[in-house]
Structure 1
Amino acid sequence: MSGGVPERDTARAACDGFRAVFGYGPAGVWAAPGRVNLIGEHTDYNDGFVLPFALRQSTFVAAAPRADGLLRAHSAAVPGGVAELAPDTPAAGTGWAAYPAGVVRALRAAGHRVGGADLHVESEVPAGAGLSSSAALEVATALALDELYGLGLSREETALLCRRAENEHVGVPCGIMDQTAAACCTAGHVLHLDTRELTRRHVPFGPAAAGLRLLVVDTRVEHDLADGSYAKRRAGCEAAARALGVRALRDVPYASLDDALGALPDGAARRLVRHVVTENDRVARTVALLDAGRPRAVGPLLTAGHASLRDDFAVSCPELDLAVAAANGAGALGARMTGGGFGGSAVVLVAEEDAERVAKGVAAAFAAAGLRRPRVLTAEPGPGARRAA
C-alpha cells in the first residue's frame, strides 16, 4: 500500500522540470492537494453538506510570470509538449490545459489584472481516480497567479473562482466541494462544509490515532465528469427541487422524506431525492460520531452511502461495487465509492490490524474477476493549498 513522497522532493522535481522545459528558473512552486470525500456525495450542487479531507498527495505547479499575456503550460505526466494559449483562447477543448487556462480566464473575468505565465506541473494525484485532480490543479494554479500578480485572494475567493473556471470554461457543472477542500482543508481534520452558506468547521479526524486506517482503492477505471452523466444527475435534482417547490433538495427535511417522495410521480426523481436527503443525514450522523470520539461507528454509514449511490443515484460501476463488497467481505468496518462516480476510487475504513488482509482481499477479488490490480493507498488528512518552494 502506497503513500506519498516527501513534499520537498516533488517541489524540487517541479523546479527542475520547469527549468528543463522553459530554460530558466520559476518564481516559486505552489501545491494543492487531492481530496477524499469521507461522506456527502452529490450533495454539494444541491446546497447540501459534505465532509471531505485533503490527501497528502498533491499537485505542484512551478510558475513564473510573463509580460505578453501568453499562458504556456507543461505537465510531466502528459505527452505532447507545451500547450500555448493566447489570452482570448477558449479553455474548452484544450485537453488538460483547459484547467489552468480556465483559471486565468475566470480571474480576468472577475476583474483581476492577471498577465501571462509559464507553468510546469508535477502531480502525485492520479487523474480520473475520483480524488479531484482537476481541483488540485486549478487551486495550485490560482495560488501561483495570486502571488505572482499580488491579487490578495482569500481562500474562499480562490475556491469560488476555481469552481467558475471548471463550470464556465471547462464545462463541468460541479459544485463547490472539491475546490474548497483543496483550498481550505487542514491536516488532521475533515471539513464539514455547508455548501450553501459556505460555512466551514474543521472536525478532528485522525484514523491512526484511533487504531484505524483509511484506505483509498483506486479501481483504475478512469471517469470523465464532462461526458454528460454528471450534468444529467444535476439537472434531475434541480427539476425535482422545482417540482417540490424548494430552492434545492437540501431544503427537504429528512423527517419529511416520505411526504416528498409521495409528491413526485416520477420514479427516477424519487430516487435522486431519496439519495440526496438521506446522504445529508448521513453527513450529520458522521459528524456527530466523530464529535463523540466514535470513528469506528462511521463504517456502516459509509456502506449505506455506497448502496444509495449505487441503487438510487446510479453513479457507481461494477469495479467500485466489487471493491466495496470485497473490502467489507474481508473485514472492513465500512466502504463506499468516493467522488463523482462512474469509475474512480472507493474509500475503506478498517481496523489497523485488518488493513493488510482487506487490501489483499480486494486485490484477490479483482484478480479473480480478470481486472487490473487496483492501487491502494493509506489516506491521512493532510494540509490544504500552500506555497511549497
Structure 2
Amino acid sequence: MSIRSPAAFVTASAPGKVILVGEHAINRGQPALSVSIGLYARCRVAPLKTHQFRLHSGKERATVGHEDLTALRQWVERQRAAEAYSEIQALAARDYFAPAKYILALMLEHGLPTGLSIAWASEIPTSSGLGSGGAAFTALVAAAGALLPEPPRLEQCAAWAHCGDIIAHGGIASALDTQTSLLGGVLRVTSHGLAQHVPAAPGLALIVGNTGVIAATSAVNGRVRRWLSEAPDSRMAYFQTIGTLARLALPLLEAGAWQPLGHLLNLNQLILEKIGVSCPEIDQLIAAALGAGACGAKLSGSGGGGIIIALVLPEQRQDVAAAIAAAGGSALMPAINVPGVTIQKQPSSLRRINQ
C-alpha cells in the first residue's frame, strides 16, 4: 500500500457498511459478517501555511492547534485507562470533532503537518447504522495519511480510524465499521487483527430500510452493557449464539443459499430483540419486508432505531422496497460489496488505498 502524495490536496472516499450478522456480539469476542455499500463519506485534506487545523463538516466548524490536540489525546487516554466511558461519551456529545481530533493527535507523532484544512461531505445518513462515522474517520486517515513523510501500513490506518469510532461510540467500539470501510467487500470481522474477505456467491442482494429514528450508538451500547452486567453468566449465551450464527452463515454466503441465510438473519433479529435493541419502528419494517417475500430481515447497527436490512432474491427488490416504504420507512438500494476506501490526489487518478 502506498498513499504518499506531494499533491496540493488529497480527497479520500470511503464506503458505508451494513452488518449481516453479529452486532453487539463482536464487542464480546464473537465474529461478525459485514459488507460495504455504495454510499460514501469524503474527506478533503490540504496543507496550510499556519500551524492550525481547520475542520469543516456541514454546519460544523472548528479551528484547533497542535497543543490542543495533544491535550485532548492525553485526557482521552486517562479516561480510557480508568474506564470512564461516561466522560468520553460526554466529550463526543459536546465536541462534534472530538473523534477526528483524537485521530489527528495520534497521526502527529508520525509527522503529520501541523497545519491542515480538513473538510468532510457525506451521503451516508447519520446515526442510522450505516457506518457514517466509521467512513468519515477512514476517509480522514486515508487523506491525511497521504501527507505523512512515510506511507502508513494498512494495519496502522485501521488502528487510527478505529480510534475515531472508539471516541464517537463512548469509549468502546468494535473495528467493524472502520475496517469494512477501509477494506470493502464482504468481511469476517473479529476483535483481533484485520478483517478477512470471505467469498460470497453472485446474487447477494439487500434492501436497506431506514426507520428515520435516530439512536446514539453510545447510548445503545451503554444499555447493552448494563443489561449484560445484570446477569452476565446467563446473558452472555445470547452473544455466543450470535457468534454461532455468523459461523453458520459463511458456507451459505459462499453457496448463494439465500433462503437458509435469511433464516439466520431472522434468528439474529430475535436475539437482538431479546437483548433489547430493537424498537417498534424496526419491527414494523421487518414485518413488512418479510410479508413481501424477503428471505430474511434484521436490524443492522447498534439498533434502537436506524436501519434494517432485508435479504432478497433479485426479482423481489421492488416489491420489498415498496413494502418498506408503505410501512413508513425509506427504502434504499445501494450497490453492495463495493471496494474499500480510495484516494484521489490532484492531479493523479483514483486508486485504492489497500492495493
TM-score (normalizing by structure 1): 0.75
Cα deviation per residue 1:289-313 (whole Å; 9 max; x = unaligned)?
A: 12334234210101110111012x1
Cα deviation per residue 1:324-373 (whole Å; 9 max; x = unaligned)?
A: 1111111110000001111111010111222211111122222xxxxxx4
Cα deviation per residue 1:258-293 (whole Å; 9 max; x = unaligned)?
A: xxxxxxxx6x43564132111100100100212334
Amino acid of the structure 1 residue aligned with 2:276: A
Give the match for residue 199 of structure 2.
Answer: 204
Aligned partners of 1:302 and 1:336 also within 8 Å: yes
The separation in 2 between residues aligned to 1:103 and 1:309, in whole angstroms, is 31
The alignment partner of 1:42 has SS state of coil
Superposition pairs of residues 38-117 of structure 1, within 5 angstroms? 38-75=20-57, 78-80=58-60, 82-87=61-66, 88-89=68-69, 90=72, 92-93=91-92, 95-108=95-108, 111-114=109-112, 115-117=114-116
The separation in 2 between residues aligned to 1:309 and 1:26, in whole angstroms, is 47
Identity of aligned residues (%): 26
Cα 1:351–1:305, aligned 2, differ >3 Å: closer, same or farther? same
Give the match for residue 233 of structure 1.
Answer: 224
Give the match for residue 256 of structure 1.
Answer: none
Match of 2:271 among 308, 318, 336: 308
The separation in 1 between residues aligned to 2:164 and 2:245, in whole angstroms, is 30
Amino acid of the structure 1 residue aligned with 2:197: H
The separation in 1 between residues aligned to 2:279 and 2:209, in whole angstroms, is 14
Superposition pairs of residues 352-371 of structure 1, within 5 angstroms? 352-366=314-328
Cα 1:221–1:168, aligned 2, differ >3 Å: closer, same or farther? closer
Q: CA deviation at 1:127?
A: 0.7
Match of 2:249 among 263, 274, 286: 286
Give the match for residue 313 of structure 2.
Answer: 351
Match of 2:289 among 327, 334, 338: 327
Aligned partners of 1:182 and 1:385 also within 8 Å: yes
Give the match for residue 297 of structure 1.
Answer: 260
Q: CA deviation at 1:56?
A: 1.4
Give the match for residue 10 of structure 2.
Answer: 28
Give the match for residue 4 of structure 2.
Answer: none
The alignment partner of 1:316 has SS state of coil
The alignment partner of 1:331 has SS state of coil
Give structure 1 regions of 4+ aligned residues with deviation exceeding 6 angstroms.
none
Q: What stretches of structure 2 of length at least 5 have no aligned partner?
A: 1-6, 74-90, 346-355
Cα 1:279–1:343, aligned 2, differ >3 Å: closer, same or farther? same
Cα 1:221–1:169, aligned 2, differ >3 Å: closer, same or farther? closer
Amino acid of the structure 2 residue aligned with 1:201: Q
Q: CA deviation at 1:236?
A: 5.5
Number of aligned residues: 317
The separation in 2 between residues aligned to 1:79 and 1:42, in whole angstroms, is 31
Aligned partners of 1:221 and 1:343 also within 8 Å: yes
Give the match for residue 153 of structure 1.
Answer: 152
Cα deviation per residue 1:219-267 (whole Å; 9 max; x = unaligned)?
A: 111121233x313424665x5xxxxxxxxxxxxxxxxxxxxxxxxxx6x
Q: What stretches of structure 1 of length at least 5 have no aligned partner?
A: 1-24, 240-265, 367-372
The separation in 1 between residues aligned to 2:131 and 2:253, in whole angstroms, is 24
Cα 1:102–1:194, aligned 2, differ >3 Å: closer, same or farther? same
Q: CA deviation at 1:136?
A: 0.6
Q: CA deviation at 1:169?
A: 7.5
Q: CA deviation at 1:379?
A: 4.0
The alignment partner of 1:230 has SS state of helix
Q: CA deviation at 1:381?
A: 1.0
The separation in 2 between residues aligned to 1:159 and 1:362, in whole angstroms, is 35
TM-score (normalizing by structure 2): 0.82
The alignment partner of 1:130 has SS state of coil
The separation in 1 between residues aligned to 2:46 and 2:198, in whole angstroms, is 36
Match of 1:382 among 338, 342, 345: 338
Aligned partners of 1:125 and 1:133 also within 8 Å: yes
The alignment partner of 1:204 has SS state of coil
Give the match for residue 134 of structure 1.
Answer: 133
The separation in 2 between residues aligned to 1:105 and 1:272, in whole angstroms, is 38
Cα 1:378–1:184, aligned 2, differ >3 Å: closer, same or farther? closer
The separation in 1 between residues aligned to 2:164 and 2:51, in whole angstroms, is 18
The separation in 2 between residues aligned to 1:37 and 1:361, in whole angstroms, is 21
Q: CA deviation at 1:173?
A: 1.4
The alignment partner of 1:38 has SS state of strand
Give the match for residue 3 of structure 1.
Answer: none
The separation in 2 between residues aligned to 1:385 and 1:140, in whole angstroms, is 7
Cα deviation per residue 1:135-193 (whole Å; 9 max; x = unaligned)?
A: 1111110111111123422222212222223325773411121111111224xxx1112
Aligned partners of 2:263 and 2:295 also within 8 Å: yes
2:214 is equivalent to residue 222 of structure 1: yes
